[in-house]
Amino acid sequence: YMATAKKWAFGVPYTINEQRPPLFQLLAALLLKLGFGESSIKFLLVVLPSVFVIYTVFLLGKELYSKKIGLIAAASAVFMWSFLFWTTRFQPDFFSLSFQLLALVFFWKFFKEDKRIHGAYAGIFAALGFYFKISALLVPLSVFIFILFKDGLNFIKKKNYWVCLFAFFLALLPFLIWQFSL
């Protein structure tokens, strides 16, 4: 990831892996161009997003169950070995996970309240998660399977689902344009 960022920031020779979503590398390249060092970039792009994951775990637990469950889930997430392990490496996992969790929070609000704005936010956050890791597409796929079980094929008739899908594809459009321009 950082080799791509250095290529974009300083022209360092490196063959870009076209299969990786670009936003993490773009943010790192921007920070490199602005003169930030490795430690400050790691703090901004890895440590802060890892802390935000804890908060989004709380939000999801609170939304699904209660504030108490959200706090227990967030406290548990603080000590997850994998979070601690990946906090020391330049990886886009925490950005992606944060957006995936936010997508789930808004999907759940969308299912509870059936408000279009929640569906639009869910679609946008699901797409933003994809800008950092391809595996983030598992969230919209899981939600789609949930919708099929919940509504069957009647989901096609519900406009709010189409709003969610439209927001997802609209937010994903810059990535698709970038991908086809390579």
Mean pLDDT by 10 residues, the chain (182 residues): 94 87 94 95 94 96 97 94 84 94 96 93 95 91 92 88 94 88 75
Classify residue 104 as exposed, middle or buried by CB count within 10 Å of its CB (0-12, 13-18, 19+): buried
**Length of the chain, please?**
182
Read off the pTM.
0.90
Q: Which of 118, 96, 105, 120 is nearest to 169 (CA)?
A: 120
pLDDT at 19: 80
At position 129, the amino acid (one-letter code) is G
pLDDT at 181: 81
Strand, helix or coil for residue 51: helix
pLDDT at 36: 96
